[in-house]
Amino acid sequence: MEVDWQLIFTARRLITGANVHFINTLIFQYRMTVKMSNDDKTRKLESQAKEYERQLRAVIAKERLGQV
């Protein structure tokens, strides 16, 4: 699994003082689970990485709508 750098770039552009810790935590969790799933040849963490990616995409969508 590859890190979606465009997703991270988009998420970072939406950071405000109110959501900085939340978004940075999601980015960190996403990047680390992708890295760990790639390091572990059994890919046990790939589903967890995909879940963090889904959460990050949901936050971006809500931020764009002004709901978070």
What is the per-residue pLDDT across 2-40, written as a single tens digit (0 to 9) for each?
999 999 999 999 999 999 999 999 999 999 999 888 886
Q: Which amino acid is at 49?
A: A
In 3D space, the residue among 7, 52, 4, 49 whose CA is nearest the CA of residue 26 turns out to be 52
- Return the structure tokens found at 66: 């002004």
47: pLDDT confidence band, cut at 50, 70 and 90? confident
Contact 34, 2 (CB under 8 A): yes
Contact 10, 61 (CB under 8 A): no
Angle between helices 46-65 and 20-39 (to 10 degrees): 150
